[in-house]
Structure 1
């Protein structure tokens, strides 16, 4: 890797320092540079084995058996005396062969029932930090069809190690100063719309008063395993697909959308809009709310009109239209297509909307518009 490529990699590292939501991109890039198949940033309690992780390219089903059973049987991680281990713990680079010979690993329950099941054969562990009884480790893995991690990959990881440690430390500090603001939830609770804040896994984090009432009704919205869904299977698949698209960890793939949700008690279907609102985090491992689902009842006649947007924020008619499109879940490119304008024009109009509304990004604009709708209809 030449110096230019390395400098670009460091840009990704320090982007993650100021934006905890960028860690999946960093993991993906580090996996590419080291020839790894998967990458995981793991926080694990050394005494009880519980923890959490950010995962790239690994089966999401691996988390439940690992933390439910195998975390305490991980021969590459666990020690007989966690307190003494943490006292001597230092950052660094280790491979599975530094921990025990491969022939010994092959005879363990952890390898045969967990690693092989999920295609994990070779592991390089980048040790970053200790937080109380928790260790923070960045694990890179390869399948059995690939060679072990060798000297070039270990050298690259060692070169990146001080930057990764610094980025993790800064990221913790930045994330601690962010998170869901009280005024956001208060504004949600004043809104005449049903509003639901979801984490990036789709689990419900907050529902306003109207949203809770909608969940209590039969034949419409419901919660399944803590996630927002619909009672009819076809509607559930559509809604869950929209939520998954809005919560995608890749910013380039994150997009909003909308659907109609018929119910047995209403003349017209509910209007459901799903919008990505960013990833404001209290910690790297706490994704924070990343999806806003707005549910409107057309029969109630509540909306944020073009004229109201112009009166509230001084938007031009064109700017009000693109603000509405963003609020409805469109990306700038989708809004341009819907409005019949060029993408360049849409971006120019959206920048004017940000300047006039005092916001700097789409998530902030949506929050502001939620507050604007929240002042009516009580």
Structure 2
């Protein structure tokens, strides 16, 4: 349904990504759709798909973004936009972006729908033209008007495709909005495919690299459980010192919330703030203590944006420092560290991500009771061939 407003146009009622009755694309759209669905499984094609979509609508540049409506922060993929503008946005303009800073984020998201709208449907041009965001950020890029194609929402994060038009050209009108509406369902479907494949790739990589028989939990950036190995399922059924409550890992009987704190630190939004750590839970009824390792994990496979932080939690019975039982992955990774290889080089040799290599090396260091990598290598060499 088209809805006229005094200062612009918004379109609602876009076809759902699951709606097989979406509008049939025109013949000129076929090449774009081939490229779009190629981008769904090969994210490196998204800039080309964005440029093609902009051309179809008579736009200039394009921005595929994931922004928080709480503070305007986020990330994005640019097409025909100076990459330096992304840096300026992150450093200052995110906080004053009038299109991504909602006074009441909760209420905004409660009313959010996957519509298509122009900047003037959001805010009269005269009001926008008085703002710093327009004069110091948009105008230097020769952006006078734009169309926002909403794609997805998760929490306070909204993903949209924005198509720009320069000064001297008419704002987007009904013809362009109708064309975008016709393709909206396809855009949302392709974007959702990319998101799901990225999430699946992350979980699969982490579980495959954990090693057979390991009790491993894969959590998302909010600490919610996504996947677990069969050994982890057995652990939850057999012991009462670790459980899942409200979709999150918990340690019953520990009011300090240490595990939750370690998971939050490993999944911190700022990469520099993320930390790996471990704790030991005393065993009940004569059982041995349990060591819980919490580490960062982020697979870049199939991710259109930087992959949201995720966490892998590994649980094992704690062993004495004089009898370290390294897994084959831990032993191999630390052996290559002894050969002077970097984490990136070890990842190439072993077919692992750099993050996973760091995870295995750090696990080996902790099991060996070493204070750093050099100490861990020395202990490994002194022990000869570590037992598994």
Find the structure with the greater CA-based Rg: 2
More helix by share: 1
Using structure 1 for the length normalisation, give the TM-score: 0.49
After TM superposition, the score normalised by the length of structure 2 is 0.48
